[in-house]
Amino acid sequence: MKGKINLARGPDKKPKTLFMALTIETLGRKKLSVILIAILVVAAWAGMILVSSWKARQHREAAEKALAENDLDQAQEQLTKYLQARPRDGNALLLAARTARRRGDLQAFEQHLKAYEQIQGPTPAGDLEKQLLQVQEGDLTAEESLKRRTSIDETNAGLILEALGQGNVLAVHLPQAIECLNQVMQKQPGNTLALYWRGRAWESWNQFEKALDDYEKALAFRPDFDRSGKRSDNMSYYTGVSRIIQGSF
């Protein structure tokens, strides 16, 4: 009786053990597959981050190179692309605001400066940009304090003098404009924006040969300026040169 029972139960053990082994093996394979998929997902995600970081760095470097060459349009384009990847980079937002101001793009200036102040709060750098916008638009209320600052703030002296030169041209304070812009050119001989505004000052003063000389120098620094068919509002060099040549003032 006991033998029969043992014989009946004995054969059941092998299939049961085999089934359990197969189940464990299947579960192990599934677990391994899940782990491998997770690793691949993480690797792909990390790769995308690295590529995005590399592209962002390339745009930032291209913007800085363009600024060094006084190509404000290209700088603004590259900074816009950089900020798409790094929208909370305060330094880049301030640089984009400054570049937009120098280009005369007030909408972009306000947008970038607002984003900058939302992250950094009010700062002396942000306040300076607001002052420079006011000055370059012809409101010279802060002119004397800004002039004093140029003697102690070497970093921003060129930007301040550039804005003062532009504002004085618009206010028709031509000797003061030329004085400021001469100082910019001493510090930054390749500053095409300063050359353009000094040309405008000479033109307004009826010094047409000097105006033409500055316009042509600006074109010599940036012969490819009009390659895209676009002109910045405050840097229409070709228009300036043609007005001088045609004598249509």
Q: Which of 2-11, 39-48, 135-144, 221-230 tops mean pLDDT?
A: 135-144
User: Does the pLDDT value for residue 228 go beyond 60?
Assistant: no
How would you write 188-248 as a 3-class SS string? CCCCHHHHHHHHHHHHHCCCHHHHHHHHHHHHHHCCCCCCCCCCCCCCCHHHHHHHHHHCC
Write down the pLDDT at residue 246: 46
Q: With bands split at pLDDT 50, 70 and 90, how would you rate the model's confidence at 79?
A: very high
List, in order, residues 6 or more apart from 185 with CB less than 8 Å away.
Answer: 191, 194, 195, 198
Question: What is residue 151's three-state secondary structure?
Answer: coil
Structure tokens at 243: 């007005």
Write down the pLDDT at residue 22: 53
Provide the residue ranges of all domains of the chain, joining segments of one domain with +. Answer: 77-122, 141-249
Q: What average pLDDT does this structure show over 199-214?
A: 91
The pTM assigned to this predicted structure is 0.73
Q: What average pLDDT does this structure show over 132-143?
A: 96
The CATH homologous superfamily to which domain 141-249 belongs is Tetratricopeptide repeat domain (1.25.40.10)
